[in-house]
Amino acid sequence: MTLDWFVDVAQIIFADIILSGDNALVIGMAAAGLSANLRKRAIFIGMAVAAGLRIVFAVVASYLLAIKGILIIGGLLLAWVCWRFYNDLREFNAADADALEQPEESEDAPEEGSKDKQFTRALFTILLADVSMSIDNIVAVAAIARDNTQLLVFGLALAIAFMAFFASIIMRIMLKFRWLSYLGLFFLIYLTGMMLYDGVKEFGLI
């Protein structure tokens, strides 16, 4: 095992932590307006779906990486990920951290039908975020692993583990130390530049 291999592993771990935490933050924001019981249920479903989607997209990613020019497409997609991640950071940094973790019960509790509608809306938002952010995670890991299948599998398995077991903890850490999120954003921008550079070089344009 070379130094480059350890560097790639460290980068994959960092990317998984940042993107898993961001996914958890989005889930937390979507569920923050629900009652305590419904909030726990929505977060559990969101985390489970996010972990499952990473497995599905991992299978697809292993085939996509074999296509010539996929690095340029992936780089452009990762640039979009950076922009969306930046907007997510602005949103949750403007939010009250306590509201994400411990939303208070309303004194004027809504009727059961209203609660069901709120839960359905929140769950739909969470599922859409899960799909989008699972793709983000796959692209980021693929940007580091490239044609190394072992690194790709390691990165995606780790992402699944983070979403299944540690996402809530990572979310709390990111809320407490918010500079970590911006460090993660700069790291994603770096990955975007490297991916686009290698994609252009693949066609002999530089």
Could you tell me how far CA 185 lies from the centroid of its own chain? 12
**Domain-located, residue 180:** yes
By residue range, what is the domain housing residue 58?
A: 3-101+113-202
Q: What is the pTM of this model?
A: 0.71
**Domain-located, residue 27:** yes
* Domains held by the chain: number: 1
pLDDT band, very low/low/confident/very high, at 206 (cuts 50, 70, 90): low
Rounded mean pLDDT, 142-150: 78
Whether the CA torsion 74, 75, 81, 85 is positive or negative: it is positive
- 90-107 pLDDT per residue, tens: 776 665 555 555 554 544
Considering 44-48, 78-82, 201-205, the range whose residues carry the highest mean pLDDT is: 44-48
**Domain-located, residue 106:** no
**Domain-located, residue 14:** yes
**Domain-located, residue 108:** no
In Å, how far are 3, 81, 91, 191, 205 from 76, measured between CA atoms? 28, 9, 23, 11, 17
Crossing angle, helix 112-145 and helix 36-64, to 10 degrees? 30
Rounded mean pLDDT, 196-202: 80
**Domain-located, residue 65:** yes
